[in-house]
Structure 1
């Protein structure tokens, strides 16, 4: 089963930007400011550099293996089914955990605006977006472009209106918690800016993937870095960094300083729109990873089915949305954020190992026809070292939750392997008896 190539550069860039601009910029920016102070902008620059380094490596892998599944597909192709299954399961878990605080955030902000039940609103969002994704990725991509354009306009307006109200005395001291605070905030910034990888997850649906994927990854990261830097500059310039760090609604608090009481309402409207785009991108990534794992036997083969009319993996979408709803109902936001960090970093580390294996196997002729990361092996090696170093601030609870998720994946893999062996044994016995 294969998917239809319908997404161009604009759709791919909006998909990546929509996944990155959401819960992170509006919620986790306050957490990062509380760690690094005004130097939080530097933290996000460090995070963006890592994202770009990883993005370049992913782009090379995507041009070599232009199939759905992203990190799972790369690990599966280079390190075998067991490692591939665990990395796919880890990556899938990271997106599922992240989707729970995105959908909950949508429900909470919609409740503050309209009084609608937050949990019901979160579930309805997932159901509507799931149905939209089953109708076709092209329609989903068009909706994504519209939402992302609204986000960009509003965030640019936030910077333009707030710039004249900045109090530069609030930038001193610039790094109150030193380098430790900057690096801790860089991990939060890294998680806030993750999302461009949804582009490679949908690599099988990209037109001219060797050109479209690298351009879309770089475009989305640069766009989001500019938006984040502008928002953080204004936020830390109108509200003291400690107050931002203690606030659950940091952007709304900052907007109140120069827009008055209407500021939080306007920001809440934008957040509801932004989280819709984020949730939509998450569904695309979750379903395509499940589709790839279903196609290779980790999940039942039905999960790898593509509907002939809509050309979408309908059962993979249904599976993903069902578990997203379950996570939304039972998960804790704090544990979800920490587990997301560990599982994401683990996925990136093993993808970088896949990158080095893939580059070693590829011939010079193959590399000349595909996108290649410049300054090899320095840039990929730097990305791998930074990823490993960011495991330190994850903390014990995040690692523990992530290891439990990996253990569940190992059990499923073992069970599926026994099922397949039993199936092939019966088929062999059946053919033998017929002969």
Structure 2
């Protein structure tokens, strides 16, 4: 019996769209939602937490960039892990990757709902569901449409953030950021996990690797550019934020709007609310892209139910995976709080980076003739630092992150066992 060949994904993301995907997946939930959580843990010391999180992210991103050249496939780190370590480890890496972003979608979409509620009075959950529905429709329209929308939204959001950062820094009083370490080193450590999530996004580019034009050249450039572009913006915005309000007043669902209102008056609050809506919407769009591609890739490899691998013949996107993940986003938004989503999502997100680090070691020891277009500089230093960073971030996720992450992995073990038994 002749099988109908499944349509392949379309390479529609150039360097500009790939960077917009990474930056969009980074700055929305990161700065608009998590800056308040980080400030509540460390006070002004959250600036140091951002710097430490950047170092950890860079150490992890460099190996990811090399592997993305070697394996420019849908599913990113999952595809890399399965290709080198096989189905068993590939499944658990993909399951952790998928679960991490599902929980991350919670604080992104709930954050959007909180900002929209402040502007319109619409209940936060209703706003979250509205965003999810819109992102799902845009993604179903094709990766090129989604990438172009990402470009426009991110440029507008960044411009508004820059205006707030300049205004906040110009009016900053030194007494507003003293004491700098009110919770000591422990507070900075706790904030580092949260701020590490704020740098999450560079791996989204690799997850869409099968849709990136000239991946060996553009994937590593997009990954590294994503981190460099957001670092300066984060530090400037975080400084303006903690200088505007005490940490205790930044724990609501719209912390930057409250800070901008303090610095620039009611117009500033409105400006920052609009900026937050744009960038958290871009993040939700990026997270939907990555989760749908992970589940699509796993289904294509027969590790998840087959319908998730269906690709639209017209738009060439995994439409079933997009629809299913959109529905899961709505469930998470309705039942999970921002702190809980950050801790569980953080644990799983960090875990998924451990697998590609092992993969890089294995690939290099095999000494394949297929050289990557990009190679990690000082790999004997960078890779151990990346492992240490992951270990530290595991500790920072606490018992809540460990318990929630373990439950998700246990559910994955059950699903994998059932799938293997009936296949």
Instruction: Pick the TM interval, shorter chain.
Output: over 0.9
Match of 1:197 among 190, 203, 221: 203
Q: Does 1:366 align with 2:370?
A: yes
Question: Post-superposition shift, 1:81?
Answer: 0.7
Pairwise CA RMSD: 1.6
Work out whether 1:124 is the aligned partner of 2:130.
yes
What corresponds to 1:332 in structure 2? 337
C-alpha distance in 1 between matches for 2:106 and 2:248: 26
Please list the CA deviations of residues 243-301 of structure 1 after superposition, one character each: whole Å capped at 9, or x if unmatched.
34555433222212221233222222211111110110011001000110011011122
CA distance in 2, matches of 1:124, 1:324: 11
Name the counterpart of 1:6. 12
1:296 aligns with 2:296: no
Q: 2:356 — aligned with what? A: 351
Q: How many Å apart are 1:383 and its aligned residue?
A: 0.7
Counterpart Cα distance in 2 of 1:172 and 1:133: 45
- In the aligned structure 2, how far is the partner of 1:139 from the partner of 1:88? 26
Aligned equivalent of 1:114: 120
Please tell me whether residue 63 in structure 1 is matched to residue 37 in structure 2.
no
- Cα displacement (A) at 1:414: 0.8
Give the C-alpha shift of residue 36 in structure 1.
Answer: 2.4
Q: Give the SS at the match of 1:371.
A: coil
| Matched-pair contact (CA < 8 Å) for 1:60–1:373 | yes
**What does residue 412 of structure 1 align with?**
415
Could you say which structure has the larger radius of gyration? 1
- Candidates 238, 262, 279, aligned match of 1:232: 238
Where does residue 164 of structure 2 map in the other structure? 158
SS of corresponding position for 1:309: coil
Q: Does the aligned pair in 1 maintain the 2:22–2:223 contact within 8 Å?
A: yes
Give the alignment of 1:200-219 within 5 angstroms: 200-219=206-225
For these two proteins, the number of residue pairs brought into alignment is 417
- The counterpart of 2:318, out of the listed 313, 321, 341, is 313
Q: Tell me by how many angstroms 1:166 deviates.
A: 0.4
Cα separation, 1, equivalents of 2:323 and 2:237: 36
Tell me by how many angstroms 1:92 deviates: 0.5
The change in CA–CA distance for 1:329 and 1:176 in structure 2 (over 3 A counts) is closer
Could you tell me which residue of structure 2 aligns to residue 31 of structure 1? Answer: 37
How far does residue 157 in structure 1 lie from its aligned partner after superposition? 0.6
- Displaced runs of 4+ in structure 1, greater than 3 A? 242-249
Mapped contact 2:24–2:283 kept (Cα < 8 A)? yes
TM-score (normalised: structure 2): 0.94
C-alpha contact 2:208 2:293 (8 A) present in aligned 1:
yes
SS in 1 for 2:136: helix
Q: Whole-Å Cα distance in 2 between the matches of residues 277 and 108 of structure 1?
A: 16
**Pairing partner for 2:21 from 9, 15, 23:** 15
Q: 2:91 matched to which residue of 1?
A: 85
Distance 2:307 2:237 in 1: 44
Distance 1:170 1:331 in 2: 33
Alpha-carbon offset, residue 56 of structure 1: 1.2
Secondary structure in 1 matching 2:202? coil
Q: Residue 398 of structure 1: which of 361, 386, 401 is its match? A: 401
Aligned to 1:66, the other structure's residue is in SS state coil
Aligned residue for 1:423?
none
Q: Is the 8 A contact 1:203 1:213 kept in 2?
A: yes
CA distance in 2, matches of 1:380, 1:128: 39
CA distance in 2, matches of 1:182, 1:8: 37
Q: Which is further off, 285-294 or 212-221? A: 212-221
Partner SS state of residue 165, structure 2? helix
